[in-house]
C-alpha cells in the first residue's frame, strides 16, 4: 500500500503539479535556456551559482525530490513507489527538465542505502540529494576491463587510515568530480574476496586525473592515479573484502541507467531526430513517396522497428515491475539491445547524410552534421562501457537461460 | 507478459493446460498423415469452441464473451507452442471481425452466433497472386438485377478447404492497385459456381485455391459499402495479422525452449554443447528477440482493443518482428540440433515449415517493413 500521508492519489498529483508549476525557474521555459551544460551534474563547482538549472536543482532537493524514494532522514523525499511514479509522470508530462543528473543518485546512493552504516549514510547521502557533491566511478583499470575482479589498485591498512596506490581508467568525468567511489584490493591472495569498496575525496593529496581523448574528439573519460593516498578508516563501505558484492549490485544500477539513455535519441552522443525523415531530406523520395535508396530504406526501417520494439519492452517491463512481481529477467537484455540499436542507428545516420555526414569541423558542415559524425564515433563505446555486449550475453546465457559453464580439463 | 486481468489469466492458464494435455505436436503429424489432408481436427476445434474460444471477441448478445482481441491473443500464443491447427484465427479475427466492424444487424445475427458456437468456419479469400498485395485485387463483382456476380480466382486461402463461408475481396470499380473500388462479400462455400481445390503446403495445414465461375450472390452478401471496402478490409487483415503474430510468438517460444533443453543435455568434446560461448551468445540473442517480439504483439493487441490510431503501425511491427524471430529461432533449432534436426522424426522441421507459411500469410517481413515505412512518411 502506498502511503499518501492521509491524502488521496488524485490529491497528491494536484499538489505536485501545482508545486512544480510554481517553483520551476521561468528562464528554463525558454526554447533554448541559457544554462551551463554541466550544471545538471551539480557539484562543488556550482556552489553559490545562480544558474537557473542549479536553482531548479536546489528547489527540488529541498523537498527531497531529486531522490524521491530515499528516506527523509537522509534528505530524500520519502515517497512510496506510487507517489514517486506520480511525480515522475508530472515531470515528464509538464515538460520539466531533470533537476539533477548524478552517478551518486543512480549508482552510489542505492548501494549506500543497502550497505553503509547510519553514520556513513548521514555523511554522504544528503550531499548526493542536494547535488552538492559530484561523484565518479573508479572501477576499470588498465589490466581489469571485462575481467573487473582482476583489479590491482592496492588499499593497505596503515593503522589509523587506509593507504591507496594504483591506477583507474574510464573514470567518467573524474576531472570534474568531487568524490570517487572506488574498488580496491585489500587482499592479494584472494581474487573476488580481496576486493573492498571505498570512497575517496578527489582533493586528497596524491590523486591525479587526466582526461582521455576519444576517437570522437571528446574526453568524457579520464585516467586517475592514486599515489600514497590516505583516506579515513570510515570511508570503507560494508566489510573489508566485501566490495565485490557491492560492485555487482552497483553495476546493475549502472546498466539500468545506461540503457535508459539510449534509444530514439541516439544513445550517448547520437543525433536526435527521425532517421526516416532525415534520410528523405538528404536522399529524396520516389514518385510514391518512398525513400529513393531502397536498400537503405529497408535497413533504416529495421532499425526503427527494433528500436520501437525495445521502447515497448522497456515500458512493458516497467509496468510489470510496478505490479510488484520483482525485476523481470528480461531487463538483462535491455543494455545489449539498446547498445546494438544505438550503434546501428548512428551508422545509418551518417550513411543517410552521405559526405555531409563525414565532417569533422568547419562551416562546410551544419552543427547537426558534425554532431552525427562525432556521435557515430562515440557510439562505438556503447557496446563496451558498463559491461561489454559479450559479457552481457554471457550473463543472459548463464543467469537467465541457465546454460552451463565449461567443464575444466574436459 | 503484459499485466493481465483475472479473466485473462484464467483464460491463458486454461489454454496452456489444454494445449499441454490435449494438443500434442503428434496431432499435427496425425493430420499430415491422414488420407484426406484435413487442415485441422474438427473434434479439437469443437473442444476449443466448447471452452468459449471461438466467441472471445464476439459480444454476449451473439453468444460470445467479449473479452477482446488481447485475450484471444493469449490463447493463440498457447496454441502456437504446439503448432495446433485450427481455423480460430481466420474465422474469428478474420470473418467475425469484419462482420462486427462492418456488418449490418442482420448480417451479425445471421453469422456471429454460429461462429461463436464453433459451428461455422470462415476463411479469407484475398490474395490473387503469390505475394500478399490486398490492393491488387482484380476479381470483378458486377451488379445484377438481384445482387452481384463474382468471377475470378483466389489463392492461398487458409483453412479454405474447411470453410463454410468466405470473405471475398472483389473489385467493383477502379483498377488493381487502387484502394477505391474494392468491395467485400460474404460468399457461402456451397454457392453455385464456386469450386475449391486443396493446396497442400509445407506446414501440413494446407490452403485452398478458389475459382468463382459467375457466382451470383444476393445484395445482402455485400459487407460494408460498395466500392469503399478498403478500410474495413485493412482493419480486418490487421486483426488476423496480429493473431498470426501471437501464434508465431508461441511457436518461437516453444522452438526456443526445446532447443535450450537440448543445449543442456547434448554432450560433445566432453561438454554439454550449451557451455560453448558461440552457442550461448546465439541463444542469448534469440532470448532478446523473443522478449522484443512479445512487447510488439502485446502492444498491437492493446492498440486494437483500444481502437488507437496507430493500429496499422503496431500490427506491421508485430507481424514483421514475429516473422523474423520465428524464422531465426526455427533455423537455429535445426542447426543447434545438428543432424537429428534434419530428420522428419524430429519436431524442428515442423517449426521451420510453419514459420515460413505463417510469415508469408498476410504479408511477410518485407511487406510489413515497407508498410511501416510508408506509414511513417518515407
B93-126 pLDDT tens trace = 999 999 999 999 999 999 999 999 999 999 999 9
Pick the CATH number of B6-120 from 3.40.920.10, 1.10.3720.10, 1.10.540.10, 3.30.200.20: 1.10.540.10
Alpha-carbon span B81 to B18, nearest angstrom: 12
Please return the burial class of B274, using the count of CB atoms within 10 Å of its CB with bins 0-12, 13-18 and 19+.
Answer: buried
CATH number for the domain spanning A82: value is 1.10.540
CB-CB neighbors (< 8 A) of A323 in chain B: 3
Same domain, residue pair A299 and A372: yes
Kindly tell me if the per-residue pLDDT of A395 is higher than 70: yes
Nearest-CA distance from A312 to chain B in Å? Answer: 6
CB-CB neighbors (< 8 A) of A300 in chain B: 373, 378
Rounded to the nearest integer, the mean pLDDT of chain B is 96
Same domain, residue pair A266 and A234: no
Same domain, residue pair A140 and A69: no
Residue of B nearest to A337 (CA): B288
**Residue A4, pLDDT score:** 47
Question: What H or E segment, with its residue span, contains residue B36?
Answer: none
Q: What is the mean pLDDT of residues A352-378?
A: 94
pLDDT tens-digit readout, A66-116: 999 999 999 999 999 889 989 988 998 898 999 999 999 999 999 999 999
Answer whether A309 sits within 8 Å of B369, measured CB to CB.
Answer: no
CB-CB neighbors (< 8 A) of B284 in chain A: 333, 336, 392-394, 396-397, 400-401
Kindly tell me if the per-residue pLDDT of A258 is higher than 70: no
Q: Which residues of chain B have pLDDT under 70?
A: 1, 35-37
Kindly tell me if the per-residue pLDDT of A264 is higher than 50: no
Rounded to the nearest integer, the mean pLDDT of chain A is 90
Catalytic, out of A83, A223, A245, A254:
A254
Q: What is the pTM of this model?
A: 0.89
Residue A39 resides in a domain: yes
| Number of domains chain A contains | 3
Answer whether A333 sits within 8 Å of B284, measured CB to CB.
Answer: yes
**Residue A324, pLDDT score:** 64
> Does residue A254 have an active-site annotation?
yes
**Residue A85, pLDDT score:** 86
**Among A residues 342-401, those touching chain B with beta carbons less than 8 Å apart:** 390, 392-394, 396-398, 400-401
Q: Domain B231-375, CATH 2.60.40.1260 — does that match?
A: no
pLDDT tens-digit readout, B40-64: 999 999 999 999 999 999 999 999 9
Residue A232 resides in a domain: yes
Q: Which residue in the set B1, B294, B373 is minimally distant from A297, CB to CB? A: B373
Answer whether A305 sits within 8 Å of B317, measured CB to CB.
Answer: yes
pLDDT tens-digit readout, B215-245: 999 999 999 999 999 999 999 999 999 999 9
Residue A39 has which C-alpha cell? 550544471
Same domain, residue pair A159 and A29: no
Same domain, residue pair A155 and A229: yes
Residue A94 resides in a domain: yes
Which range marks the domain in which residue A339 is found?
A: 262-400
Q: What is the ipTM of this complex?
A: 0.94
Answer whether B263 sits within 8 Å of A403, measured CB to CB.
Answer: yes
Residue of A nearest to B366 (CA): A298
Same domain, residue pair A148 and A219: yes
CATH T-level assignment (fold) for domain B123-228:
Butyryl-CoA Dehydrogenase, subunit A; domain 2 (2.40.110)
Residue A353 resides in a domain: yes
Same domain, residue pair A223 and A276: no
CATH number for the domain spanning A202: value is 2.40.110.10
Please return the burial class of B159, using the count of CB atoms within 10 Å of its CB with bins 0-12, 13-18 and 19+.
Answer: buried
Q: What is the mean pLDDT of residues A325-334?
A: 73
Residue A4 resides in a domain: no
| Domain residue ranges in chain B | 6-120, 123-228, 231-375
Amino acid at each position: 500500500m502506498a502511503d499518501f500521508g492521509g491524502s488521496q492519489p488524485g490529491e497528491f498529483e494536484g499538489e505536485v503539479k501545482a508545486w512544480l508549476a510554481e517553483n520551476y525557474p521561468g528562464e528554463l521555459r525558454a526554447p533554448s535556456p541559457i544554462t551551463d551544460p554541466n550544471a545538471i551534474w551539480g557539484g562543488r563547482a556550482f556552489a553559490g551559482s545562480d544558474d537557473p538549472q542549479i536553482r531548479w536543482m536546489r528547489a527540488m532537493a529541498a523537498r527531497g525530490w531529486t531522490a524521491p524514494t530515499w528516506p527523509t532522514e537522509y534528505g530524500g523525499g520519502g515517497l512510496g513507489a506510487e507517489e514517486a511514479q506520480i511525480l515522475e509522470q508530472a515531470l515528464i508530462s509538464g515538460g520539466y527538465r531533470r533537476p539533477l543528473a548524478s552517478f551518486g543518485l543512480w549508482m552510489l546512493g542505492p548501494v549506500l542505502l543497502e550497505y553503509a552504516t547510519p553514520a556513513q549514510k548521514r555523511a554522504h547521502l544528503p550531499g548526493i540529494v542536494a547535488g552538492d557533491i559530484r561523484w565518479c566511478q573508479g572501477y576499470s583499470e588498465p589490466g581489469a576491463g571485462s575481467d573487473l575482479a582482476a583489479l590491482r589498485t592496492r588499499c593497505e591498512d596503515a593503522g589509523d587510515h587506509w593507504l591507496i596506490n594504483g591506477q583507474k581508467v574510464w573514470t567518467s568525468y573524474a576531472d570534474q568530480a568531487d568524490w570517487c567511489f572506488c574498488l580496491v584490493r585489500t587482499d592479494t591472495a584472494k581474487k573476488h574476496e580481496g576486493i573492498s569498496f571505498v570512497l575517496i575525496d578527489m582533493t586528497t593529496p596524491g590523486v591525479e586525473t587526466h582526461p582521455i581523448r576519444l576517437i570522437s574528439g571528446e574526453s568524457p573519460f579520464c585516467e586517475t592515479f592514486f599515489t600514497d593516498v590516505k583516506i579515513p578508516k570510515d570511508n570503507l563501505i560494508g566489510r573489508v573484502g566485501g566490495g565485490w558484492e557491492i560492485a555487482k549490485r552497483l553495476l546493475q544500477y549502472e546498466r539500468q541507467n545506461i540503457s535508459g539513455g539510449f534509444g530514439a535519441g541516439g544513445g550517448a552522443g547520437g543525433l536526435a531526430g527521425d532517421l526516416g525523415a532525415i534520410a528523405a531530406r538528404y536522399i529524396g523520395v520516389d514518385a510514391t513517396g518512398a525513400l529513393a535508396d531502397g536498400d537503405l530504406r529497408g535497413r533504416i526501417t529495421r532499425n526503427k522497428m527494433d528500436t520501437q520494439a525495445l521502447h515497448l519492452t522497456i515500458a512493458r517491463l516497467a509496468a510489470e515491475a510496478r505490479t510488484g512481481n520483482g525485476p523481470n529477467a528480461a531487463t538483462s537484455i535491455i543494455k545489449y539491445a539498446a547498445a546494438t540499436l544505438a550503434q546501428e542507428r548512428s551508422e545509418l545516420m551518417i550513411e543517410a547524410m552521405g559526405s555531409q555526414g563525414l565532417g569533422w569541423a568547419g562551416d562546410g558542415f551544419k552543427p547537426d552534421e558534425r554532431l552525427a559524425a562525432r556521435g557515430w564515433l562515440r557510439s562505438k563505446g556503447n557496446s563496451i562501457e558498463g559491461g561489454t555486449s559479450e559479457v552481457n550475453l554471457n550473463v543472459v546465457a548463464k543467469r537467465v537461460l541457465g546454460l552451463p559453464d565449461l567443464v575444466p580439463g574436459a | 507478459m503484459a499485466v493481465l486481468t483475472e479473466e485473462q489469466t484464467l483464460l491463458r492458464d486454461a489454454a496452456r493446460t489444454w494445449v499441454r494435455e490435449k494438443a500434442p505436436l503428434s496431432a499435427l503429424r496425425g493430420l499430415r498423415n491422414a488420407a484426406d489432408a484435413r487442415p485441422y481436427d474438427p473434434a479439437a476445434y469443437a473442444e476449443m469452441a466448447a471452452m468459449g474460444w471461438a466467441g472471445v471477441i464476439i459480444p454476449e448478445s451473439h453468444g460470445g464473451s467479449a473479452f477482446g482481441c488481447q485475450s484471444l491473443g493469449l490463447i493463440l500464443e498457447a496454441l502456437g507452442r504446439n503448432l495446433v491447427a485450427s481455423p480460430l484465427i481466420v474465422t474469428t479475427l478474420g470473418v467475425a471481425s469484419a462482420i462486427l466492424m462492418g456488418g449490418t444487424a442482420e448480417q451479425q445475427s445471421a453469422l456471429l452466433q454460429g461462429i461463436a458456437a464453433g459451428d461455422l468456419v470462415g476463411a479469407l479469400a484475398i490474395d490473387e497472386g503469390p505475394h500478399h498485395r490486398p490492393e491488387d485485387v482484380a476479381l470483378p463483382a458486377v451488379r445484377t438485377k438481384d445482387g452481384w456476380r463474382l468471377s475470378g480466382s483466389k489463392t492461398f486461402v487458409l483453412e479454405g478447404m474447411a470453410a463454410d463461408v468466405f470473405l471475398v475481396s472483389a473489385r467493383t470499380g477502379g483498377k488493381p492497385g487502387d484502394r477505391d473500388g474494392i468491395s467485400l462479400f460474404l460468399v457461402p462455400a456451397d454457392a453455385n459456381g464456386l469450386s475449391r481445390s486443396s493446396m497442400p503446403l509445407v506446414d501440413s495445414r494446407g490452403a485452398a485455391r478458389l475459382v468463382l465461375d459467375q457466382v451470383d450472390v444476393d445484395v445482402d452478401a455485400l459487407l460494408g459499402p460498395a466500392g469503399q471496402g478498403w478500410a474495413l478490409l485493412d482493419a480486418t487483415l490487421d486483426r488476423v495479422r496480429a493473431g498470426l503474430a501471437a501464434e508465431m510468438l508461441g511457436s518461437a517460444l516453444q522452438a526456443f525452449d526445446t532447443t535450450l533443453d537440448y543445449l543442456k543435455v547434448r554432450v560433445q568434446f566432453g561438454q554439454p554443447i550449451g557451455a560453448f560461448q558461440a552457442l550461448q551468445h546465439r541463444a542469448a540473442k534469440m532470448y532478446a528477440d523473443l522478449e522484443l517480439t512479445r512487447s510488439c504483439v502485446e502492444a498491437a493487441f492493446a492498440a486494437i482493443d483500444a481502437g488507437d490510431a496507430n493500429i496499422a503501425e503496431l500490427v506491421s511491427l508485430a507481424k514483421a518482428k514475429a516473422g523474423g524471430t520465428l524464422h531465426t529461432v526455427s533455423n537455429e533449432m535445426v542447426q543447434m540440433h545438428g543432424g537429428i534436426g534434419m530428420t522428419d522424426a524430429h519436431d524442428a522441421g515442423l517449426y521451420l515449415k510453419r514459420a515460413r507459411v505463417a510469415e508469408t500469410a498476410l504479408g511477410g517481413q518485407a511487406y510489413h517493413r515497407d508498410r511501416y515505412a510508408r506509414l511513417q512518411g518515407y
